[in-house]
Amino acid sequence: MQNLLSDVVVVDLTRALAGPHAAMMLGDLGARVIKVETPAGGDDSRGWGPPFVEGESTYFLSANRNKESVTADLKSADGKAFLTKLIARADVLIENFRPGVLDRLGFSVERLHELNPGLVVLSITGFGHDGPDGGRAGYDQIAQGEGGLMSITGAVEPTKVGVPIADLLAGMYGAYGALAALHERSITGKGRVVRTSLLASVVGVHAFHGTKWTVAGELPERVGNHHAQIAPYGLYRTQDDIVQVAVGSEGQWRTFAPIVGLDPLDERFAVNSARVAHRDELTAAIEAEFSKESADVWLERLAEKGIPAGKVRDFQQVYEWEQTLSQGLLIDVDHPTLGRIQLPGPPLRFDDQPYAGARETNLPPPRLGEHNESVRAWLE
């Protein structure tokens, strides 16, 4: 199983998060990922903190497992010669420069495919490689706002998602596109360019909010911690804490309503569209009943009736939760500076293996230039 992508070599020219996340996903599947960094400081995220542990940025550690690090000044003759050799041996090249930067370095798409006709090039930009805003720099929170995501997130004012979701989604879409291009290459022998952007990744997950506008002509609005088109579905206060409840069908509603002292046939709540229209009344009625018991009592009671419900856990609770551990979502690696450390791991499992990802042994995020000698020796 650890050999899924073991014959694939990825050259990772990216920094920050979107590109590194895409490369890490391929590394998690067994690819050899060679991260090329600037000699002076490397990936920007090596300096992003606090926290730092023994000088290592936990931000960098989150996006660079299963990679090797080499340093090269791509503006120099030596750096260009080194990258040329890497490209000739690579299957995938990932870059997230602004449009035109790689061309100015002497590595246009045409040049890349002269060096290696089978090369798959994954290009991740902020707003796309062309169009009136194609040259804009891409940063996650800017893309969340420009792409509409913040307009539907939060209760009162527009709110960003708590993780850099535009970056992460662009990385996921990019890895997905690169794998499709690799599959095509196995048939045609030719590589191609795959493009995505932070903007595209955000628009790509608009889901039902998108069609609410494009088909129905209705502008989505913020509804806080409740679902925009289903009720009851959201966060509710109990006697001592909060719980989340998701009543996703009319059958579930008929089960749930009596639990909280409501008549499932009450005309205000009898069907989902009515419940959405009367959401405030419904929420008040549910919370009036929930206030009589603790969150644990309600969670147990709802579970007995098959109603989806859950806690809102902090990160300590998530990483100590037996269910998280059972899914292999934490991995142990031996870091050259930090020693044995634990990292959030890949989200995929294959067959019945106990660990996530496609590698039996995971590589720690590398020190800057840690593999300079071994990679250069491999290229000779």
* pLDDT tens track for 118-134: 999 999 999 999 999 99
Indicate if 160 and 19 belong to the same structural domain.
yes
Q: In the listed set 287, 310, 333, which residue is the last one of a domain according to the structure?
A: 310
What percent of the chain stands above pLDDT 90?
94
CA 224, CA 221: separation in Å to the nearest integer? 9
Q: Are 73 and 66 in contact (CB under 8 A)?
A: no
In this structure, are 25 and 73 located in the same domain?
A: yes
Same domain membership, residue 339 and residue 302: no
Q: Tokens in use for 24? A: 């890490």
Q: Mean pLDDT across the chain, nearest whole number?
A: 96
User: Into how many domains does the chain fold?
Assistant: 2
Please report, for the domain that includes residue 32, its CATH number: 3.40.50.10540
Q: Is 225 among the domain residues?
A: no
Q: Are residues 194 and 106 both part of a single domain?
A: yes
End-of-domain residue from the set 310, 339, 354: 310
Alpha-carbon distance of 24 to 343, in angstroms, equals 13
224 part of a folded domain: no
Structure tokens at 65: 């497992």
Report whether the peptide linkage leading into residue 366 is cis, meaning its omega lies within 30 degrees of zero.
Answer: no
Task: Choose the final residue of a domain: 253, 285, 310.
Answer: 310
The sign of the dihedral angle between the CA atoms of 227, 270, 249, 284 is positive
Residue 114 falls inside a structural domain: yes
- Which residues, listed in sequence order, are joined to residue 70 by a DSSP beta bridge? 36
Task: Answer yes or no: is pLDDT of 15 > 90.
Answer: yes
Q: Is residue 90 part of a domain?
A: yes
Q: Please give the Cα distance from 289 to 292 (Å, whole number).
A: 6
**Same domain for 89 and 188?**
yes
User: pLDDT band for position 167 (50/70/90)?
Assistant: very high
Q: Strands of 242-246's sheet, edge to edge?
A: 233-237, 242-246, 309-310
Q: Give, in order, the Cα–Cα distances in Å from 283 to each of 233, 269, 300, 303.
A: 10, 11, 20, 20
66 and 137 both lie in a single domain? yes
Q: Which residues contact 15 (CB under 8 A, 6 or more apart)?
A: 37, 42, 43, 44, 45, 96
In a shared domain, residues 29 and 175:
yes
> Which region, left, alpha or beta, applies to residue 50 given φ > 0 means left and ψ of -120 to 50 means alpha?
beta
Q: Note the pTM of the prediction, 2 decimals.
A: 0.94
* 246 and 364 assigned to the same domain: no
- Pull the structure tokens for residue 189: 């022998």
* pLDDT tens for each residue of 258-282: 999 999 999 999 999 999 999 999 9
Question: Is 223 a member of any domain?
Answer: no
User: Is the distance from CB of 308 to CB of 298 less than 8 angstroms?
Assistant: no
CA distance 245 to 149: 23
CA distances from 361 to 3, 30, 71, 77, 328 (A): 11, 10, 24, 36, 13
Q: Which residue shows structure tokens 């596109």?
A: 177
Which position has the token pair 């062309």? Answer: 130
Q: What is the pLDDT of residue 81?
A: 97
Look at residues 89, 47, 34 and name the one whose alpha carbon lies nearest to residue 363: 34
Q: In what order do the strands lie in the sheet with 32-37?
A: 68-71, 32-37, 9-12, 92-95, 120-125, 193-197
CB 310 within 8 A of CB 233: no
Answer whether residue 218 is part of any domain: no
- pLDDT surpassing 60 at residue 2: no
Burial of 126 (0-12, 13-18, 19+ CB in 10 A): buried
pLDDT of residue 353: 78
Catalytic site positions: 167
Return the ∠ at Cα 91 (arms to 88 and 94), rounded to 5°. Answer: 100
One domain, residues 175 and 302:
no
71-99 pLDDT, tens digit each: 999 999 999 999 999 999 999 999 999 99
Give yes or no: residues 296 and 246 share one domain.
yes
pLDDT (mean) for 24-50: 96
Non-local (6+) Cβ contacts of 31 within 8 A are: 5, 6, 8, 9, 10, 91, 92
**pLDDT, tens digit, for every residue of 174-185?**
999 999 999 999
Q: Are residues 123 and 260 in the same domain?
A: no
- Cα separation, 64 vs 363, in Å, equals 9
Cβ partners under 8 Å of residue 162, min gap 6: none
306 and 169 together in one domain: no
The CATH number of whichever domain residue 258 belongs to comes to 3.30.1540.10
Q: Judge whether 165 lies within some domain.
A: yes
Q: The domain containing residue 251 runs over which residues?
A: 233-237+242-310
123 within some domain: yes
